[in-house]
Amino acid sequence: MIRHDTLKTSLRDSVIFSLFGSVMFGSKLLMEILPNVHLLGMFIMMLTLVYRTRALIPIYMYVFLDGLFYGFAYWWIPYLYIWTILWGITMLLPKQLSKSTAMIVYPLVCGLHGLSFGILYAPVQALIYGFTLQGTISWIVMGFPFDVMHGISNVVMGTMVLPLSTVLKRLNAGKFR
C-alpha cells in the first residue's frame, strides 16, 4: 500500500519532475536515429533510487508526452506498464547496495529490461492483433535482434545510474561538494 505522505510533492519537486519527464522525452527523441538506444532505463532507475514512489510522476509524464507527440495508438498501450516494471524492479533492490555491487547490478537490471522489452510488449500485440501463442512467439523471435541491441545499449547507459543518482541525492540534500 502506498502511503499518502510519500506522494506529497513541493513546488520544487513538481518542477524537477516536469523537467525530468521532458528531458526523458527529449533524449529519446534525439536518440531515435539509433534504434533501441536511449537513456530511459538509466533515467527511470536513477529517479527511482532517489525519489522512490514519486519517480512514477516523471515516468508517466514521459509516457504522456510520448503519446501526445506520436499519438495515443496501439503501440503506446504497453508503455503504460513497461516502464513501471523497471521502476518496480528497482524499488525491490536493496537501498544500501555497496558501490561495487551497485556498479554491476544497476547496469544488469537496466540491460535485462531492454533485453526483455519484446517479451514485455508482446501480450498487448497478441491481444490487439489476435496472435496465437505461436504467432506471439514468432513476433518475439523476429524482434529479438533488436532486443539484444536494446539490452546492450541499456547496459552501457546503466553504468551512469550510480554516479548520477549519487549526484542527484547530494543535490537534493543540499550537500554537493
Q: What is the C-alpha R_g of the chain?
A: 17
Return contacts of 119-125, CB within 8 angstroms, 24+ apart.
Answer: 119/147, 120/78, 120/81, 120/82, 120/85, 121/78, 121/82, 123/78, 124/74, 124/77, 124/78, 125/78
The C-alpha cell of 131 is what? 496472435
Q: Which domain holds residue 133?
A: 4-164
Q: Answer yes or no: are the C-beta atoms of 86 and 38 closer than 8 Å.
A: no
Residue 148 lies in a domain: yes
Per-position DSSP letters for 97-166, written without gaps between them:
--HHHHHHHHHHHHHHHHHTHHHHHHHHHHHHHT--HHHHHHHHHHHHHHHHHHHHHHHHHHTTHHHHHH
Residue 44 lies in a domain: yes
Residue 170 lies in a domain: no
Placement of cell 505522505 in the chain: 5
Mind listing the pLDDT tens digit of every residue in the chain (177 residues)?
555 445 667 888 899 999 999 999 999 999 999 999 999 999 999 999 999 999 999 999 999 999 999 999 999 999 999 999 999 999 999 999 999 999 999 999 999 999 999 999 999 999 999 999 999 999 999 999 999 999 999 999 999 999 999 999 999 887 655
What local confidence, expressed as pLDDT, does residue 174 receive?
77
The C-alpha cell of 116 is what? 526483455
What local confidence, expressed as pLDDT, does residue 162 receive?
98
Residue 15 lies in a domain: yes
Residue 97 lies in a domain: yes
What local confidence, expressed as pLDDT, does residue 6 receive?
55
Number of domains within the chain: 1
